[in-house]
Amino acid sequence: MPRLLVDTAVLSGAANSLPLAWLDGLELLPFAPRDLTPQTPRAGEADALLVRTATRVDAALLAGLPRLRALATLSSGTDHLDVAALPAHGVSLHTGHGGNAVAVADWVDWALSRLPLQNRRVLIVGVGAVGTAVTQLLTAHGLDVTLCDPPRAAREADFAPLTLDEALTQGPWGAVTLHVPKVSAGPHATTNLLNRARLLQLPGAVVLNAARGGVLDEVAALELRQTGHLGGLAVDTFVGEPRPLAALLQHADLVTPHIAGHSIEGKLRVAHRAVAGLRVALHLPPAGTLATAIADVLACCDDTDLTPFAALDAANQALRAAPQQFEAIRHGHRRVEHFLRT
């Protein structure tokens, strides 16, 4: 039986991330998410590893897990993983890429419904699965959407080759929303992508970050919001999670604890994609269906917990009141997807 190192928050249900039946056929080896090292009991016996974004997997950890051959992450993003190191260790990667796209589009819809726009022009930076869902939603609302994704333009001849700096000159913008991966180096690096100089080119605009902490210069954005240069600031992902900049939590217009993609359907869809790939890599049969899992969770929920915008309003209020409860608020958040139901 293959052995799986798995986050204790997944096994306890604290992360509300997947039905344990999806892990049938695996011997489970629990680990505390921020304490996984090669010295973790039985870590060296593991054939596979299942993590959340709370666990960093780097080359040193991989070197200490000699039997490891598959890694699954309950996320769309991979900036907590040293992806480049995986092939050298013979480890396949399985993510939930795109599974939370509709949920993030809902978050953008919520944020824009709470913040006044100076005009109906929205710049979407990053047009992968999430940015595409956001584009569909905002277009359906009649907003004038412009797309900016240089890496995609480099891959696809028919995608408009618009750089961020070129896009910023085409203002004024009502809003700019970020949906890029966090990339630290190379021609399409996104660390500090929306920096002070670029924010200064957005007078009156609402800025939204539901991508990754660090793609937005949070200090500059907060300062420019407080001076009135920006028309609004909504942040879901932060530098230093789960202990973000205290002033940002208190003074941004909207703050949520990295839950833009955490609809009930979105979390299960991400988990199903990641675990399905892991099971194939380990030559295990499929275990459970996504539709059944979603139905089972919804059947146990009080409808009052599920209203998308009310749940996000509650998370915003709770995080301001108790920033030290970032993780608890994150894992306790529940809502259904709104976009596909309307």
User: What percent of the chain has a predicted confidence (pLDDT) above 70?
Assistant: 97
Question: Which 3 state secondary structure label does DSSP give 230?
Answer: coil
Give the position of tokens 């080896």: 29
The answer as to whether 139 is a domain residue is: yes
The answer as to whether 44 is a domain residue is: yes
Q: Are residues 217 and 286 in the same domain?
A: no
Task: Tell me the DSSP string of 260-322.
Answer: TT--HHHHHHHHHHHHHHHHHHTT------HHHHHHHHHHTS-GGGT-HHHHHHHHHHHHHH-
Q: Per the structure, how many domains does the chain have?
A: 2
Q: Are residues 128 and 227 in the same domain?
A: yes
Q: Are residues 47 and 90 in the same domain?
A: yes
Q: Are residues 106 and 244 in the same domain?
A: yes
In the prediction, which pLDDT does 305 show?
A: 56
pLDDT at 310 over 60: yes
Q: What tokens does 72 get? A: 């699954």
pLDDT band for 307, please (50, 70, 90 cuts). Answer: confident
Question: Which 3 state secondary structure label does DSSP give 224?
Answer: helix
Q: Are residues 142 and 246 in the same domain?
A: yes
Domain final residue, candidates 255, 285, 311: 255
Window from 74-88, 187-201, 217-231, 303-317 with minimum mean pLDDT = 303-317
The answer as to whether 318 is a domain residue is: no
* Closest listed residue to residue 338, CA positions, set 104, 17, 76, 122: 104
The answer as to whether 43 is a domain residue is: yes
Question: Which 3 state secondary structure label does DSSP give 323?
Answer: helix
Query: What mean pLDDT is predicted for residues 188-207?
Result: 97
In the prediction, which pLDDT does 221 show?
A: 98
Q: Are 177 and 203 in contact (CB under 8 A)?
A: no
pLDDT at 342 over 50: no
Ranges 6-10, 78-82, 229-233, most confident:
229-233
pLDDT tens for 119-149 read: 999 999 999 999 999 999 999 999 999 999 9
In the prediction, which pLDDT does 74 show?
A: 94
Q: Are residues 235 and 282 in the same domain?
A: no
Residue 130, Cβ neighbours under 10 Å: how many?
A: 31
Q: Are residues 111 and 185 in the same domain?
A: yes
pLDDT at 105 over 80: yes
Residue 197, Cβ neighbours under 10 Å: how many?
A: 11
pLDDT tens for 230-256 read: 999 999 999 999 999 999 999 999 999
The answer as to whether 288 is a domain residue is: yes
Q: Are residues 93 and 120 in the same domain?
A: no
The answer as to whether 49 is a domain residue is: yes
pLDDT tens for 162-175 read: 999 999 999 999 99
pLDDT at 35 over 80: yes
For the chain, the straight-line distance linking the first and the last C-alpha, in angstroms and rounded, comes to: 45
Domain final residue, candidates 228, 255, 282: 255
pTM of the model: 0.91
Q: Are residues 231 and 282 in the same domain?
A: no
In the prediction, which pLDDT does 13 show?
A: 82
Q: Are residues 218 and 114 in the same domain?
A: yes
Q: Are 103 and 262 in contact (CB under 8 A)?
A: yes
Task: Tell me the DSSP string of 111-159.
Answer: HHHHS--SSSEEEEE--SHHHHHHHHHHHHTT-EEEEE-HHHHHH-TTS
pLDDT tens for 141-188 read: 999 999 999 999 999 999 999 999 999 999 999 999 999 999 988 999
The answer as to whether 19 is a domain residue is: yes
pLDDT band for 303, please (50, 70, 90 cuts). Answer: low
Q: Are residues 152 and 244 in the same domain?
A: yes
Cα separation, 223 vs 180, in Å, equals: 23
The answer as to whether 333 is a domain residue is: no
pLDDT band for 14, please (50, 70, 90 cuts). Answer: confident
Domain final residue, candidates 195, 222, 255: 255
Q: Are residues 34 and 157 in the same domain?
A: no
Residue 229, Cβ neighbours under 10 Å: how many?
A: 16
pLDDT tens for 270-283 read: 999 999 999 999 99
Domain that holds residue 11: 3-99+264-299
Cα separation, 325 vs 6, in Å, equals: 23
CATH number at residue 165: 3.40.50.720
Query: What mean pLDDT is predicted for residues 76-80?
Result: 88
Would you name the residues annotated as active-site residues? Answer: 212, 241, 258
Contacts of 247 (CB under 8 A, 6+ apart): 222
Cα separation, 180 vs 89, in Å, equals: 27
In the prediction, which pLDDT does 340 show?
A: 56
Cα separation, 122 vs 179, in Å, equals: 13
* Closest listed residue to residue 128, CA positions, set 156, 87, 98: 98
